[in-house]
Structures are given as C-alpha cells and as structure tokens.
Amino acid sequence: MSNPSHDSRAFRDALGLFATGITVVTTRLASGEPLGLTVNSFNSVSLDPPLVLWSLMLGSPSEEAFRACSHYAIHVLADGQQALSNRFAGSREQRFAGLDTTAGLGDVPLLEGCLARFECRNDIQYAGGDHLIFVGRVERFERGAGNPLLYFGGAYRHVDAQD
C-alpha cells in the first residue's frame, strides 16, 4: 500500500483509474469578457434542492473570477467534442475565439452541442485541500442525446451509450 502524502504521483495515477466525464465550466467577468475552463471534477450533490459541484485548483488564474461570479454553466461534453475540451484546457486568450455562444443566466456564455448543460447560481464555496469546491444551485438545465466524452487513465475514452 502506498501513502498518498509520500507518493503523490502514484496517488494521482490511482485516481486516474476512475473514469470521469469531461465538462467545460463558463462564466462572464464583470468586464464582460467570457471565461471558461475544462473540468473533470464534476458531481451531483442533491436533487432537492438541485445542487452540483466542481472544483478548481487554488491559485488558478481563474480562481478569483469564479469566486466572484453570480452564475456559471457546466457543459457535459459529448463524444466528438475532444477538440472543445482541449481548447478550454489551453491558452485562455484563445478559448472563445471564433466560437458561437448564446447568453444564459447571468449573461454566462453557453456552448452548443453538449450532452447536457447546467446553469447554476454560485451558491457555496469550500476549501478542500489544494482545491476550491464550488457548489452550484441548478436553476436551469438541458439534456441532449448521444454518447459522453470520457477521461480514463490519462486519456480520452469513448463509450457507446447504447450498449
């Protein structure tokens, strides 16, 4: 058995054995600039009230903006949206370049073609080790059809939801 405090790489590799969906979380800065990033730490919390959570590494360049925003949207990516995942994991300046969006609650930019989308009020924030955990109250959601984009073992994976 390994001790996670002594072998953080092995701990991270073990966590990578849990398959996750991929999301893009978006908001809008007070200046009007859109902000978004790729996140795989998304989870449901409660059905009543409808709550979801995601987390962001403390010290992230996006931390203060997400702490201060009133709303954000969580987009669950569909199979075939790997390029969108990579775009929002890359250079902050290029994330929305040439991308068509619509305005959601709180003027948050909404991405099209996702498997599901949750528009959330920024309800609660908790410190969790080296991350900040955001709990959002879902005010609107949309559900599409298709297969999810997954991440497992350090790579994108595909699954047929019809199996």
From residue 94, give the alpha-carbon distance in Å to each of 57, 97, 98: 21, 5, 9
pLDDT attached to residue 87: 95
Query: Does 160 map to a domain?
Result: no
Query: Does 143 map to a domain?
Result: yes
pLDDT attached to residue 90: 83
Cα 15 to its chain centre, rounded Å, is: 17
pLDDT attached to residue 163: 57
- CATH number of the domain encompassing residue 43: 2.30.110.10
Phi then psi for residue 58, to 5 deg, are -60, 140
Query: Does 3 map to a domain?
Result: no
Residue 28 has pLDDT above 90, yes or no: yes
Residue 14 has pLDDT above 90, yes or no: no
Query: Does 161 map to a domain?
Result: no
Average of per-residue pLDDT values in the chain? 92
Measured over the CA atoms of residue 68, residue 89, residue 84 and residue 19, the dihedral's sign is: negative
Per the structure, the count of domains in the chain is 1
Q: pTM to 2 decimals? A: 0.92
Query: Does 159 map to a domain?
Result: no
By residue range, what is the domain housing residue 88?
Answer: 8-154
Which residue has better confidence, 7 or 142? 142
Strands 109-110 and 155-158: what pairing?
A: unpaired
